[in-house]
Chain A
Amino acid sequence: MKSLKSIFSFVIPLTAMLITFAIFLFTTKVVDDYKLKISNDYSIVVVANTPLVKDNINELSGIKVQKIVTLEKNKIINNIKDKLSDKSVELLKQRLPYFYKIHLEQYPTSSQLKNAKNELLEIKNIKKVEIFSKNHNQIFLLLLIIQKIIAVVFAIILIYAVIIIAKQIKIWFYEHHEAITIMQFHGASILYSASSVIKHAVFGALISFGIVAALIVLLNNNLELVFPPELQSVVGIKLLVKEELVKIFLLSLFISISTIFGVLFKHKMKNA
């Protein structure tokens, strides 16, 4: 009964932390997928006096350039040549600058876009840069805000979980002080003396992982119940169950074991 109580004192904070971590992983995945989806439709238009050396522009604001597409002058002239004389068309061909569309590998944030524009304007022959910042995607910004909020919530819950687990271990040490002293009188190391609380922490981590894993699998099998199809068509909600479970399992073990060893180290230093 005492052991069960001790194990559950680890399970509750760990489960809360792992659920938040799972939500954080999920929103990160949604944001990344959405970023990829909209980055294919987005490009920066550049107007240059002379032809651009494409190899010189590999990266903009830290984002790799996927491709630079030259916009054919003839296409632009063809649209208006019916209204112009042949001489004017020839003149226009000579005077018209060069147009390019720059596609990036990732969808940039507003600040990244501004930086990209500045970097492009520093190139001598570039006359104008259009980043279409007003059309910058509102859903993307909203997703980014949600992702950041969840990251902050996760960090707070992580800190609380570590504090609660550390307190539980300290309580365990207090409750078992006499037993620990007796074991140490017989030559036991602190690790041996605390072996039962280490076992409880590991069991707690496994139980927490089991609970969160079951929730993720359940959610994955019933995505349409939680997220309506309309939303799914916009942001493309998918879970990478195996990858997420591995990360959650590792975090669960890491937090419980590192916390207990931290407390043990402190205890050892205090009693040295």
Chain B
Amino acid sequence: MITAKEIYLSYDKNRFIIKKGSFHIRDKEFIFIGGNSGSGKSTLIKSLYGDIGLKHGELFVDGVNMKNISAANLRKIRRDIGIIFQDYKLINDLTIEENIMLPLKINGYSNEISKKQALNLLSHVKLSHRKGYRPNELSGGEQQRVAVARALAHNPKIIIADEPTGNLDDFSAEVVWNLLKGANEQLGITVVVVTHRVPKNFGIRFRQLSIDDGIIYEVS
């Protein structure tokens, strides 16, 4: 599903954030990427959805080489990925229902199907009663639940999550983990999560990678 061969990532010429990183993530795997603050976790997952380009090496996501990828191919790849950001990245001009409908509409689903799916997911994240609300009218935990619902809406092949529970209360964090576990176990979606702390008694099989000073290690 995802293969990195000696990749180098950087924001400027002089300092590499990720150095000679190699790893392989199989289809339907649940992967945690750990490491200290500033170790390059977020940079690594940004490269998975093409927000940062490779300096050297090769990175294949769902069989597509991300190096010098064309704009059209990048759009195609991104339509198969659900992204969950630490700062939620919901669109405040849209209601939470419309936010969840967004990836479906981008993928060409009709308004009717998108709406039905959004309502279904809103009930899963226990926010049906707030479907007409704007994101800025919700708490942080509620916003992240909407972001998870949005990432799941179009049944993507891969979900990439950057510290999805970093700012959440225990209840919201549990809802988010349960949704991600369900996506992996029941829907067979490959899940890649960046986190400081792997939750205890996670309950499903997972693999863990760690980054230290730009070097990627396999932990378990």
Which residues of A line the B interface, CB within 8 A?
Answer: 2, 176, 178-179, 181-189, 192, 272
Contact = CB atoms under 8 A, between A and B. Distances in A.
Interface stretch (B73-81, B186-194, B200-208): B73-81
A185 B147 CA distance: 13
Contacts of A183: 91, 102, 106
Contacts of A272: 71
Nearest to A272: B71
A178 B91 CA distance: 8
Contact of B83 (A176, A179, A185, A192): A185
User: What is the interface residue range for chain B against chain A?
Assistant: 10 to 19
Nearest to B51: A185
B89 interface: yes
Given A185-B51, A187-B106, A192-B106, A179 B93 contact: yes
* Secondary structure class of chain A's binding surface, majority of residues: helix
B49 interface: yes
B37 interface: no
Contacts of B93: 2, 176, 179
B110 interface: no
Nearest to B74: A187
Contact of B91 (A2, A179, A187, A192): A179
Kindly name the residue among A184, A187, A272 whose own CB sees the greatest number of chain B CB atoms within 10 A: A187
A187 B79 contact: yes
B36 interface: no
A225 B93 CA distance: 49
B89 A187 contact: no
A185 B162 CA distance: 14
A187 B104 CA distance: 11
Contacts of B102: 182-183, 186
Contact of B89 (A2, A185, A188, A192): A185
B103 interface: yes
A188 B83 CA distance: 14
B154 to A, nearest CB: 8
A188 B78 CA distance: 9
B78 A186 contact: yes
Contacts of A184: 75, 78
20 contacts: A2-B93, A179-B91, A179-B93, A182-B102, A183-B106, A184-B75, A184-B78, A185-B49, A185-B78, A185-B89, A186-B78, A186-B79, A186-B102, A186-B103, A187-B75, A187-B78, A187-B79, A187-B81, A188-B106, A272-B71
Nearest to B91: A179
B73 to A, nearest CB: 11
Interface in B64-93: 71, 75-79, 81, 83, 89-91, 93
B123 interface: no
B178 interface: no
Contacts of A178: 89, 91
A188 B105 CA distance: 9
Contacts of B49: 185
B71 A186 contact: no
Given A179-B93, A181-B89, 19 more contacts: A176-B93, A182-B89, A182-B91, A182-B102, A183-B91, A183-B106, A185-B49, A185-B51, A185-B78, A185-B89, A186-B78, A186-B79, A186-B83, A187-B75, A187-B76, A187-B78, A187-B103, A188-B106, A192-B106
Given A178-B89, A179-B91, A182-B89, A187 B107 contact: yes
